Amino acid sequence: MDTIIRITIDGIECMASRGQYIVEAAKENGIYIPTLCNYPGVKPKGSCRICTVKVNGKLMTACTTPVSQGMQIENNTSELNELRKAIIELLLVEGNHFCPSCEKSGFCELQALAYRFKVMVPRFPYSFPLRKVDASHPKIIKDQNRCILCKRCIRAVKDDKGRSIFAYRRRSHRVEVGVDAKLGKLLTDELAQKAMDVCPVGSIIVKEKGFAVPIGERKYDNKPIGSDIENISVSKH
Ligand code: FES
């Protein structure tokens, strides 16, 4: 049986199961902590830092930090929300995210977070990198312009033997995620759909299918991302 412990989030006393990650405990208590690289049921990686909270005064990623008895967590503060907003802006300027022409528009977590955090015009200059759209695989299109290197596809899309179908290739600032050269042929229709679904942005698109859900009726078109309806305090840039 799970051991129940007490934690506080923004001064609110919450119950949590020992060993649970902070994001999970917060969600069960109806408190929203934004995430991007994290995906339920997939081992957390802690790469995007959008879920950063303060634990007993120290900055920690909520998706990789397990709760402990008496933990005091700060989440919805203007300092942390400004940090999260800056991360979203940096991701937007680092790639080429042209939402109106993206099949994932309305389902895109980066876009939804940008709306939630009131990103108007990023305060950083756009870098407009030259990146490829790889349509060589028979089942999917991998658009490197939109990839945020969260590794969700690498961690979640695996063959029967538990091997990742997606992999990193190249190095340093040229690093990219693509279908593994050897295992790519094992990408079934189901796994291709899963890859598209776990991708938080529009970097993996299943071929020969589109607009099954019309624009305006998509996941985040009418309801903002997050489990609460609280307003967050961030400035407009
Ligand atoms: S969601 Fe926690 S670091 Fe990305």
Distance 208 CA to ligand 1 centre (A): 32
The residue whose CA is least distant from atom 1 of ligand 1 is: 35
Q: Where are the beta strands (DSSP E) in the chain?
A: 4-9, 12-17, 52-55, 58-61, 72-74, 133-134, 140-143, 166-169, 176-179, 204-206
What pTM, to 2 d.p., does this model score?
0.93
Beta pairing class for 133-134 and 176-179: unpaired
Atom number in ligand 1 closest to CA 49: 3
Q: Which two tokens stand for residue 5?
A: 């412990």
Domains of the chain from N-terminus onward = 4-76 (3.10.20.740), 85-206 (no CATH)
At 3, list the tokens. 């051991």
**How far does the chain reach from its first CA to its final CA, in angstroms?**
48
The finding on whether 26 has its CB within 6 A of some atom of ligand 1 is no
Q: What integer is the mean pLDDT of 165-183?
A: 92
Please say if the pLDDT value at position 60 is more than 60.
yes
42 C-beta closer than 6 A to ligand 1: no
Query: What is the rounded average pLDDT of the residues 102-123?
Result: 95
Distance of CA 236 to the CA centre of its chain: 22
Question: Which pLDDT band holds residue 2 (cuts at 50, 70, 90)?
Answer: confident
Asked whether 202 and 105 are in contact (CB, 8 A), the reply is yes
Give the mean pLDDT of 214-237. Answer: 77
Amino acid 122: pLDDT: 87
Can you tell me which residue has the tokens 């830092």? 49
Mean per-residue pLDDT of the chain: 93
Q: Which ligand 1 atom minimizes the distance to the CA of 44?
A: 2
Indicate whether 63 pLDDT > 60.
Answer: yes
**What is the distance in A from the centroid of ligand 1 to the CA of 85?**
14
Q: Is the pLDDT of residue 107 over 70?
A: yes
What tens digit of pLDDT does each residue of 6-31 get?
999 999 999 999 999 999 999 999 99
What are the pLDDT digits (tens) for 116-151?
Answer: 999 998 899 999 999 999 999 999 999 999 999 999
What residues contact residue 62 under an 8 Å CB cut-off, 6+ apart? 21, 22, 23, 26, 33, 35, 51, 52, 53, 73, 75
